[in-house]
């Protein structure tokens, strides 16, 4: 069985942001559990405002969408901006409307890990709830564990690794869950499940 392909999405326009670092830690855990990983952060996600009436999307947007089509799982990391996800991330996720008529529309059936970094617990938890709701709306399966990180506290060292053992453990669990659920889903294709229900 080939390695599942897990795509990481997130970060902010600020290099080495806490959400970008958290995403990297979770993806590293997914890779340790047998996944092939790819990352889309600010440089790749600064896309034109999504407008379906424009027709053809940019080359950068097409590369992003092509990765989503290949994906067996996702990890999405967002900063908490005023109690919700960033505009950068929301715009990138709006591009999934281009996948509405695809063989697997949107994120249908994909395991998706949700991670949020915010300067305070209130914004972190409300943003995590919003992100999980968006994943549901896009037909994805949020992993049982979602991670809200209070980035007002010292959480990451200069090397990008978590300095908080609890944060490190939670991010590792999210990465593991996405990789393992992707493996399980690949072992039982949806067509097999549909046939058993006929």
Q: Which structure tokens are listed for 30?
A: 């997914």
Q: Which structure tokens are listed for 24?
A: 């990297």
User: Which residues does residue 10 pair with via DSSP β-bridges, in sequence order?
Assistant: 77
The predicted model gives 141-158 an average pLDDT of 94
Q: What is the mean pLDDT of the chain?
A: 92
The predicted model gives 44-68 an average pLDDT of 94
Alpha-carbon torsion angle 109, 53, 131, 158, nearest 10: 110
The predicted model gives 144-153 an average pLDDT of 95
- 5-196: which CATH topology? Rossmann fold (3.40.50)
Q: Which residue has the tokens 């996600």?
A: 45
Q: Which residue has the tokens 């399966």?
A: 141
121 by Cβ neighbours in 10 Å (0-12 / 13-18 / 19+) ranks as middle
Q: Do 167 and 155 touch, CB atoms closer than 8 A?
A: yes
DSSP 22: H
- Look at residue 2 and tell me whether its pLDDT is greater than 90: no
103 by Cβ neighbours in 10 Å (0-12 / 13-18 / 19+) ranks as exposed
What radius of gyration, in Å, describes the C-alpha atoms of the chain? 16
Q: How much is the pLDDT for 192?
A: 46
């Amino acid at each position: 069985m080939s390695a599942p392909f897990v795509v990481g999405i997130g970060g902010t326009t600020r290099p080495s942001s806490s959400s970008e670092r958290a995403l990297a830690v979770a993806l590293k855990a997914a890779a340790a559990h047998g996944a092939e990983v790819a990352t889309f952060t600010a440089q790749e996600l600064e896309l034109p405002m999504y407008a379906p009436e424009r027709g053809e999307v940019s080359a950068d947007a097409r590369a992003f969408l092509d990765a989503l089509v290949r994906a067996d799982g996702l990890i999405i990391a967002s900063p908490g901006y005023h109690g919700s996800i960033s505009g950068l991330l929301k715009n990138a996720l709006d591009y999934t409307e281009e996948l509405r008529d695809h063989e697997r529309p949107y994120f249908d059936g994909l395991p998706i890990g949700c991670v949020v970094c915010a300067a305070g617990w209130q914004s972190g938890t409300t943003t995590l709830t919003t992100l999980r709701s968006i994943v549901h709306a896009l037909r994805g399966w949020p992993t049982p564990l979602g991670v809200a990180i209070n980035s007002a506290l010292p959480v990451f060292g200069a090397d990008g690794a978590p300095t908080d053992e609890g944060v490190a453990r939670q991010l590792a669990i999210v990465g593991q869950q996405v990789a393992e659920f992707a493996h399980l889903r690949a072992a039982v294709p949806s067509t097999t499940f549909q046939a058993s229900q006929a």
